[in-house]
Homo-oligomer: A and B are copies of this chain.
Amino acid sequence: MSKKDKQFVEEITPMEENFSQWYTDVILKTELVDYSPVRGFMVIKPYGYAIWENIQAYLDKRFKETGHKNCYFPLLIPESLLKKEAEHVEGFAPEVAWVTHGGDEELGERLCVRPTSETIICEMYSKWLNSYRDLPFLYNQWANVVRWEKSTRPFLRTSEFLWQEGHTLHETYEEAEEETLRMLNVYKEAAEELLAMPVVVGKKSEKEKFAGAHATYTMEALMHDGQALQAGTSHNLAQHFATAFDITYLDRDGKLQYPYSTSWGVSTRLIGGIIMVHGDNRGLVLPPGVAPIQVVIVPIAAHKGGVMEKVDEVFEDLKGDIRIEVDDREHYSPGWKFNEWEMKGVPVRIEMGPRDIENNQVVLFRRDTLEKEVVPMDELKERVQELLKDIQSNMLLKAKKMRDEKTYYVKNIEEMKEIMSTKPGFVKAAWCETRECEDHIREETGATLRCIPFEQEDLGDKCTFCNRDAKNMAYFAKAY
């Protein structure tokens, strides 16, 4: 490693030293994102956007397989509509951007830039729904939303972000509940299969649920620094919005009924999760499932006869099934390129020089374990495909191990406080499910209730934190 190469890597602050600075260094230096002239608004650069496109492709397919169709609702929502559901407006009004003028004219009613679209969508649903035969409504939209955040960080919390929001209507509570859980499960599978990001799934407390929801379900991931990330939520809205927006239909007996609704969403926040679950001090480590470039070929001594010809041959052979690129830039050394692609988290690197070609072989480097291997040319395609699968599953295992090592049981709030201040992570505890206890935990330890997981463990009859009877086992953590 030349001095220049070394310096290149050392530009990233070690995560043990300052995790927040590490994150900022990684997202900027790998060109995922940039700050914009508008405070709190990010620019998603091509390398970051390509990750989002891969997430979209996976999810969009899953949504369609489960019977959903895409549509598009207006960006701007009249204030009067936002106000129709009381809890909803209370939750969102403080963080919306208001449009007050169109051209030179002041508007009669101000319009909010959608922070989420339940209100405008329900207004349309009330117009569209007539009969039980129309149900279920299974719609989704891919869109941008704006929430005026005071403190922002790219991908994790920004004043504008990209997401999808599903909005459905059903005849019965049970069907709505089934849909809510079905879509949470699609999210869980996306997180684990595509992003190699293990998640805990469960229910939010009354305090933490979505403004206007009957029940909110969530998937929670644990980051390298021991903080949790709420990575996706699915809400059973029961009849709250249907009644507020007067959505009715004639049921099988000709009676007027309110339907049950759900909504569910994931956002560009997932990209923040990928970075903080898998990244290391060299930079990004991208799971092959979402990596914009899965394999990069770096030619060695590219000017020597036969090298680029062989590189092109390998590229042509692999490109059908694999997202692959050749780094043929002439003004950078192979060492510099190795570092750059490691920093950018490309799962597999193929090194090919005159000696490799002479020996009819290549060198493969895998980003997750930093291991190298020599592979005969005629086994290359098969080996690369194996390797990508192996990296994907290894990354999930590694992330699970990391999470399990940072998951604790505590006996009381003092132990919890100690853990949160020294080695934060998930804390599993028996819980009384009271708001008072929840507020107290937050005040004392900085941790919030992440979820009451579907997979319950018996941690005794008494709440770990107070004297009340325990209602369930819950996960707590500091969170983004």
Contacts and interface: CB of A to CB of B under 8 A. Distances in A.
B94 A41 contact: no
Nearest to A111: B38
A46 B159 CA distance: 28
Contacts of A98: 99-102
Interface of A is mostly: mixed
Interface in A123-148: 123-124, 127-128, 133, 139, 143-144, 146, 148
A71 B43 contact: yes
A71 B44 CA distance: 6
A162 interface: yes
Given A38-B111, A102-B97, A146 B49 contact: no
B99 A113 contact: yes
Interface in A147-162: 148, 159-160, 162
Interface residues of A, number: 56
A74 B113 contact: no
20 contacts: A37-B78, A37-B81, A37-B123, A38-B74, A43-B73, A43-B124, A46-B70, A46-B139, A49-B70, A50-B69, A53-B70, A75-B113, A76-B97, A94-B104, A97-B111, A98-B99, A98-B101, A99-B100, A99-B113, A103-B148
Contacts of A421: none
A66 B123 CA distance: 42
Contact of A38 (B38, B52, B76): B76
Nearest to A128: B34
A75 B144 contact: yes
Interface of A: 34, 36-38, 41-46, 48-50, 52-53, 69-78, 81, 93-104, 110-111, 113, 120, 123-124, 127-128, 133, 139, 143-144, 146, 148, 159-160, 162, 331
Contact of A34 (B52, B81, B124): B124
Given A76-B97, A97-B111, 15 more contacts: A36-B123, A38-B77, A38-B111, A41-B75, A43-B74, A43-B124, A44-B71, A48-B71, A50-B70, A74-B160, A75-B144, A75-B160, A93-B103, A97-B99, A98-B100
Contacts of A95: 103
A143 B43 CA distance: 13
A258 to B, nearest CB: 20
Contacts of A127: 34
Contacts of A44: 71-72
A70 B46 CA distance: 6
A82 B73 CA distance: 26
Central interface residue in A97, A123, A124, by most chain B CB within 10 Å: A97
Nearest to A142: B142
A137 B74 CA distance: 31
